[in-house]
């Protein structure tokens, strides 16, 4: 491996580790503010998508008027959603956490049901597959019945993982030598 490439890889690992550690620490130690910042990023993306969709209405390649009307309506929906997010960032952050908790709960529940359905087709040890399916179903149901608490727990867990990964990357950055 060339020396320049090695230096670039090492710097990338260090930068990634630093960013991961900082973002993870912000999520763990300032969960409300970091969730509001994440909601603000979603709001900014909604406004940007709405503006770009609105600008696409004026392209000559769109011949159908119904397509133009659809783009205008969708643009307005994106713009209004983005503005609503910025109107009350705390409510937007709670809504974001609720959506994450609910969608994760639905995913785990469906995954557990599929695992139970495939349990008879497994030829190996069925005990671990059964336990995995049971944990997925119970975890999914608990998130669906309490999406706010589950979402907050997932948000904190995500922050902890980012911090741990970031710290390991920083250690890797420091210990990497030519």
Give the domain extent around 121: 3-175
Measure CA 127 to chain center: 32
- Tell me, what's the pLDDT at 134? 94
The residue behind tokens 């763990």 is 28
- Tell me, what's the pLDDT at 178? 55
Exposed/middle/buried for 165, CB within 10 Å: 0-12, 13-18, 19+?
Answer: middle
Collapsed DSSP state (helix, strand, coil) of residue 76: helix
In this prediction, residue 123 has a pLDDT band, given cuts at 50, 70 and 90, of: low
| Pick from 22, 2, 10, 9: nearest CA to 165 | 22
- Helices 147-175 + 126-145 axis angle, to 10: 120
| Pick from 136, 133, 32: nearest CA to 91 | 32
CA atoms of 124 and 88, how far apart (whole Å) = 52
Q: Is residue 162 over pLDDT 80?
A: yes
Q: Is residue 107 over pLDDT 90?
A: yes
* Domains identified in the chain, total number: 1
Contact at 8 Å (CB) between 116 and 137?
yes
| Pick from 59, 39, 35: nearest CA to 47 | 39
| Pick from 176, 178, 162: nearest CA to 16 | 162
Q: How many helices (H) and strands (E) does the chain have?
A: 6, 0
| Pick from 37, 163, 44, 128: nearest CA to 89 | 37
In this prediction, residue 78 has a pLDDT band, given cuts at 50, 70 and 90, of: very high
Q: What is the mean pLDDT of residues 6-24?
A: 92
pTM attached to this predicted model: 0.74
Q: In sequence order, which residues have a C-beta less than 8 Å from that of residue 86 and are 6 or more positions away?
A: 40, 43, 92
| Pick from 51, 48, 41: nearest CA to 93 | 41
- Tell me, what's the pLDDT at 4? 86
Mean of the per-residue pLDDT values of the chain: 90
Structure tokens at 143: 């998130």
């Amino acid at each position: 491996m060339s020396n320049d490439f090695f230096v670039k890889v090492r710097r990338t690992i260090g930068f990634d580790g630093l960013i991961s550690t900082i973002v993870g620490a912000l999520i763990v130690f300032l969960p409300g503010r970091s969730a509001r910042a994440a909601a603000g990023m979603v709001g900014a993306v909604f406004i940007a998508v709405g503006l770009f969709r609105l600008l696409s209405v004026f392209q000559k390649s769109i011949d159908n008027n119904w397509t133009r009307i659809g783009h205008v309506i969708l643009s307005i929906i994106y713009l209004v959603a983005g503005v609503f997010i910025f109107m009350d960032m705390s409510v937007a952050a709670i809504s974001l956490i609720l959506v994450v908790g609910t969608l994760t709960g639905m995913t785990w529940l469906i995954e557990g049901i599929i695992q139970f359905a495939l349990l008879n087709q497994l030829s190996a040890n069925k005990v671990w597959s059964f336990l995995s399916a049971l944990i997925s179903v119970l975890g999914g149901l608990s998130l669906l019945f309490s999406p706010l608490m589950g979402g907050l727990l997932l948000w904190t867990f995500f922050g902890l993982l980012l911090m741990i990964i970031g710290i390991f990357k920083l250690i890797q950055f420091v210990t990497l030598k030519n």
